[in-house]
Amino acid sequence: MTECEKIVKRDAFLKAIEVEDAPSAAEGLDLDSMVVDPSYDGVKLEKEMTQEFIDDMIERFKNGKKIARKYVFQIILAVMDIVKKEPTMVETSITEPSHTITICGDTHGQFFDLLNIFKLAGPPSPTNSYLFNGDFVDRGSWSTEVALTLYAYKWLYPTSFFLNRGNHETDDMNRMYGFEGECRAKYTERVFKLFSESFSALPLATLVNSKFLVLHGGLFSDDNITLDDIRKLNRFKQRQPGQSGLMMEMLWTDPQTAPGRGPSKRGVGLQFGPDVTKRFCERNGLEAIIRSHEVRMEGYEVEHDGKCITVFSAPHYCDSTGNKGAFIKIGKENKMEFTKFNAVPHPDVKPMAYASNGLAGLI
C-alpha cells in the first residue's frame, strides 16, 4: 500500500507539471554528428532499414547485447515519421491468394516469445503481413527489445507491417509497469521520451478486408459510434487517452457475457455485451471485431456469437499464468486460422524487473 501511494503521488505530481505542448524530445538531436563507438561490433545502420540489420540486432538482443544509441534514435524517429502519416484507422486488404496477415495480441516485453511467433507464422514480408494489436511493452523485461524489433520491421515494411496502440503504450502505464525504467536502465531517459511521442502517434485501429475491425480494447459507451467516427478521430489532439472519450474506450474496454453494458473491473472504461457487439457489426458491415487486452488461457477466445474475438500473444504471462499464446491468420477469403503456442525458455530475468518503486514485488 505504501509503495502504491508513493506511485499515485508521484503520478499526480508529474501530471501537474506536464506541459501538453512541450517541445519534442527529438529537438536538438543531431543524428548526423552522432558517432557510433568504433568498438561496436554489430551491423551498421545507414539511412534505410535492412533485413541484415534486423537479423543482427535480434542476435545481439538474444545474447543480452544492445544496439548503438544512435541506431535506437534512428529507428524511433523513422517510425514516428511513418505512423504520423497513417490514419487513425488504417485500412488494409488482402487481395492475393498467397498473401496473409497475422494478427497478434499483447506481447508485453516477452521478446523470446515474439521470435517464436515469427518462427511459427513466418518472417514478415510484403506477402506475409503482420498486425500487432498493442501492449508491446511493460511487465516483460525485454520491452525495449520487443519495441525496437517491431519498429525495425515497421520501417522495413511500412505498408505491410502494422502497429495499433494499446493501453500500455501510454505514459501512466509505462511509469508503473516497467518500460520507462527499462529505457533508462538500458539506454537513456531521452529514449523513453521519444518512444512516448511515437506511441502517441500510433493508429488506434486497423480495418482488415473491410470486415474485421482490430483494436486493442473494444467497443463504445454509445451505440451511435461508427467506423466513420473512428476515421475522423483526431488522435493527435491529446497524447494520452485520459479517463473518458473515444480513445480511452478503444484502448480500455472489455467484453462481458451479459447483454448491455456494465462497469469495468479495471476501474476505467466499461464492459460491453453481445448485443452491443452485434449492433455495431451490423451497422458497420463487419463480420467481427478482433481485440486483445486480456489473458485467455488458450491464447484466444471466440465470444459474442462469433462476433468478438480476443487474441493474446504473451504465453505464460509474467512467468506465472500458465496460459498459451495465440495469433490469427486471415487471407483473401476472410477465413480465420488460429494458432496456439506455448512459452519458450528465456534468460533468468524476472518480469517487472524495471518496474518503479519496488512494484515488481507487489504485482
Residues annotated as part of the active site: 168
| 319 φ, ψ (degrees, to nearest 5) | 55, 25
Strands (E), the chain: 89-92, 100-104, 128-133, 161-164, 205-208, 212-215, 254-255, 261-263, 270-272, 288-291, 300-303, 308-311, 325-330, 336-341
Measured distance CA(310)–CA(290) in Å, rounded: 6
Measured distance CA(238)–CA(165) in Å, rounded: 14
DSSP bridge pairs for 206: 90, 214
| Residue 211 CB-half CA count within 13 A | 12
Query: What pairing do the DSSP bridges indicate for beta strands 89-92 and 128-133?
Result: unpaired
Smallest CA-to-CA distance from 312 within 351, 273, 352, 339 is with 339
The DSSP output letter for 50 is: -
Measured distance CA(335)–CA(288) in Å, rounded: 12
| 341 φ, ψ (degrees, to nearest 5) | -150, 155
Q: Cβ of 50: how many Cβ atoms within 10 Å?
A: 15
Q: Are 323 and 341 in contact (CB under 8 A)?
A: no
